[in-house]
Amino acid sequence: SVCNEVIVKQEVIPAKGHTEVVRDQKPATLTEDGYTGDTYCAECGILIKKGEVIPKGGVIVSWVVEGETVKTEACKKGEKPEYTGATPSKAETSRYTYEFSGWTPEISEATEDVTYTAQFTAIGKNGLCVEGDDTYWIKDGVNVTFPGLIRINVGTDAAPHYHYYYFGEDDKAVKDGDYKVDKNNGLPLPCYKYRFDAEGIIEHDEDTSKNGICDGDGSRFYYIDGVKVGEGLIMVDGSYYYARTSTAEIVRNRSYWVTKTNGLPIKEGTYKFDADGRMIINGFVEYNGFTYYYDNGKLAKGFTKIGEDYYIFNAY
């Protein structure tokens, strides 16, 4: 008023304050953090209080095999995770197989996200190892130094079928050609030259049980484990035969120059062989200071009557 008199006294009305409402709440799970939510005024929309993160209740466990994540799972904190998938495996190589040996790091109570990686123990192979065009003989996954002649039974114990390989000083199997065996490791095949196929196997008859003089390829040959062997002079049932050193074919029904006598009491020279391949030789023979007697190609042994006389010949 003009006179400054109070006509009506004013009354202070107290503020009611904000009406709080919480938004964007989210409960925590094993794998995701939660959120308490933000507090707003329902009337004016102002943000009154920022919410807080609620830590997730678990951890993420990943299982990795050979670079591939094969399983991912959640696990409560404090619990020990357990892998329930198929047993991890690793592809074998030409030299090694692999055996699952566990996980790294060592499995323990879960406190944070973790990745476990499968570990494997290498187990070296033994025997033939083919790598590209080369073939090796290995032991525990490593090349054997200069293995020499090796025999492998690719059949069964009851019905063996043998393959022979020859590994040279470079540790590789010789292949596709004629090669001289210098180290036979006491195997039946002597240290001669043999023909090897493209796989490195000595060429042989389909029947590797052939041993001695046997029919084959339209003639008769001397075999050892189905392999033709040019053994030269051999004795079978007291008679001499000659397996040609070049082909192993038994000389038959002809005269032939005998050069490889293998320590038998026969001098080098030309001899006749009958239709069955037996050497035709009769009478006394002097060899290296000793006297031998042959009757129709057979070597006399023990107590022997010759004409009207009796002789004793060593039986060995």
69-73, 78-82, 138-142, 298-302: lowest mean pLDDT where?
298-302
Q: Is residue 70 part of a domain?
A: yes
Task: For residue range 243-265, list pLDDT tens digits in order.
Answer: 999 999 999 999 999 999 998 88
Q: What is the pLDDT of residues 68-118, one digit of tens each?
A: 999 999 888 889 999 999 999 999 999 999 999 999 999 999 899 999 999
What is the token pair recorded at 200? 């490195």
255 falls within a domain: no
- pLDDT over threshold 60, residue 291: yes
Please check whether residue 210 is in contact with residue 220, taking contact to mean a CB–CB distance below 8 angstroms: no
Strand pairing category for 134-139 and 127-131: antiparallel
Range from 57-66, 77-86, 176-185, 264-273 that averages highest in pLDDT: 176-185
Number of folded domains that form the chain: 3
Q: Which domain holds residue 93?
A: 58-124
- 175 and 150 together in one domain: yes
Looking up residue 181, the CATH number of its domain turns out to be: 2.10.270.10
The answer to whether 224 touches 213, Cβ cutoff 8 Å, is: no
Q: Is the pLDDT of residue 57 over 90?
A: no
Contacts of 165 (CB under 8 A, 6+ apart): 128, 135, 137, 149, 150, 152, 173, 200, 201, 202
Instruction: Give the model's pLDDT for residue 14.
Output: 62
Which pLDDT score, from 0 to 100, does residue 140 have?
Answer: 98
Strands of the sheet containing 239-243, edge to edge, are: 232-236, 239-243, 298-299, 290-295, 283-287
- Is the pLDDT confidence value at 1 over 60? no
87 Cα distance to chain centroid: 22
